[in-house]
Chains A and B, each alone.
Chain A
Amino acid sequence: MGPHGRAACTACNRSGPAGVHSTVVAQLNRRLESDLDAGFVDLVDEMGAMVVSVASRVGDPSSAEEIVQETFVRAYRWLSSQEGDLDGLEIRPWLASITMNLVRNEYRRRGRRPTVPLADRSAEVLADPGRSVEERIVSIDATDRLARLLTCLPVPQREAIVLRHVAGLTTRQTAVVMDCPTGTVKSHLSRGLAALRSQLTDPTQESP
């Protein structure tokens, strides 16, 4: 995983626009370098949602917890072997790569791709006092439907959409994680989004 993350960042410094996001990430690198243990707590807090989202939305929700745990164990082990020099490590895609590798191992081990759509979030949405009851019900419905449709996409489209639109990676970072050119990611994204749109507007295809 090391060389992967490192190569990514030099690329980032050359091409990517340096925004607020990259500043925050750079600070996290500094914190990890100066005090790995304290920095790692921050890393879990800042990146936890991203890792959980990738593990549950690309992989099978039933094994997500284990994968999230293992992602951070591997991340910590690798970071503690680096002796404080994290120049060029781009944390977000690096962590996402670890998660994706574990998810792919899991597909392989099970001999099938992830299946179960989930009724998660429902409780959360239902409890949201900021929406009307009708809105909440429509929203649960839509969220679950979308999660379910996502599992029906071809694997590369699903991976690209989750990394880019659910986990919030940039297109370039998504390409790094998927180990393919940016153009390929863009085409996976546009095909995947088109498929989702057509299924969302065509009720006959909703429950495959």
Chain B
Amino acid sequence: MNVTAPPLTTRLAALRLDLDSDQRDRILDGVGLCDRYCVVDTPIGLRTIAFNDRGVVLVSAAVDTDAFTEEFRSRRGNRALRSADRPPRGVVTALRTGRGRTVPTDLRSLSEFQRQVLAAARDIPAGEVRPYQWIAERIGRPKAVRAVGTALGANPVPLIIPCHRVIRGDGRCGGYVFGGQQKEALLRGEGANLEVVADLHGRGIRYVASATTGVFCHPSCHQARRITPAHRVLVRDRAEADRLGLSPCRSCQPVPVAA
């Protein structure tokens, strides 16, 4: 016998085994707690997306695996992560066309306020823009404009939830998770009439209305863009719209509709 043999209980404790990381990931996968990731093409270049059975959880500019993993850890903690062969069905088309309203997302790790902001942003159609104020009013928190900006800036699934369609109250584009230039490029790619919006805002005009229908819209609304110049009425604000007896567009909802 070895003279320096440790006590029996110590030797028994040494029979303890570890859970290896492969099996850890398989266990978490088995209960649906493993996110998967893959690289996808978008109008502003390659992005890495992470998703699980419930939906997309992260869209990241980090295409390099290590950099992506680091971002994933900071957002998702120590959840398991494995690579996937392909993204969930519909994601590629949604990213290409900007029509991603039906793509499922898993936003359970966000606060209720963040989820409301993102849900409101999701209602903005491709090719249109809304001011931060519009989101704030839509979720019943008209004074929380700055908090809305923060929530959109922390959007974990940009492009899928089009936070780039929310712009500043003065008609300028404002910031974006992937950078202001990308925001503008995306909006142009979707056909948004940014110059018109900026020009009208510069002149203090928030809305445009049709003299024939008596309906007023956000200047980027697809209905507003169909109004012929002869019938186009420029409206400074909602008070003026009221005075002129105009009714709000049902599509772009310049007057917030109670949820």
Contact = CB atoms under 8 A, between A and B. Distances in A.
B203 interface: no
Interface string A27-43: 00000000101101110
Contact of A150 (B15, B18, B19): B15
A108 to B, nearest CB: 24
Interface in B76-129: 77-80, 108-109
B239 interface: no
Given A40-B31, A41-B33, A161 B78 contact: no
User: Could you say which interface size class chain B belongs to?
Assistant: 20 to 34
Contacts, number: 94
A170 B109 CA distance: 36
Given A49-B18, A138-B2, A41 B12 contact: no
A41 B33 CA distance: 8
Contacts of A166: 12-13, 15-16
Interface string B134-178: 000000000000000000000000000000000000000000000
B19 A168 contact: no
B17 to A, nearest CB: 5
A147 interface: yes
A45 B24 contact: yes
Interface residues of A, number: 41
A196 interface: yes
A113 to B, nearest CB: 18
Contacts of A76: 31, 33
Interface of B is mostly: loop
Nearest to A80: B31
A201 B5 CA distance: 11
B24 A44 contact: yes
A161 B11 contact: no
A69 B13 CA distance: 23
Interface string A44-62: 1100110111001100000
* Pairs A-B, 3 closest by C-beta atoms: A48-B19, A165-B12, A76-B31
Interface of A: 35, 37-38, 40-42, 44-45, 48-49, 51-53, 56-57, 65, 68-69, 72-73, 76-77, 120-121, 138, 142-143, 146-147, 150, 161-162, 165-168, 193, 196-197, 200-201
Interface of B: 1-2, 5, 8-9, 11-19, 23-24, 26-28, 30-31, 33, 77-80, 108-109
23 contacts: A38-B109, A40-B33, A41-B28, A41-B78, A44-B19, A44-B27, A48-B18, A48-B23, A52-B19, A52-B23, A53-B16, A68-B23, A68-B27, A69-B26, A72-B30, A76-B33, A143-B11, A150-B15, A162-B15, A165-B9, A167-B16, A196-B8, A197-B8
Given A48-B18, A68-B27, 12 more contacts: A40-B28, A41-B28, A44-B27, A49-B17, A49-B19, A120-B17, A121-B17, A142-B5, A142-B11, A143-B14, A146-B12, A196-B8
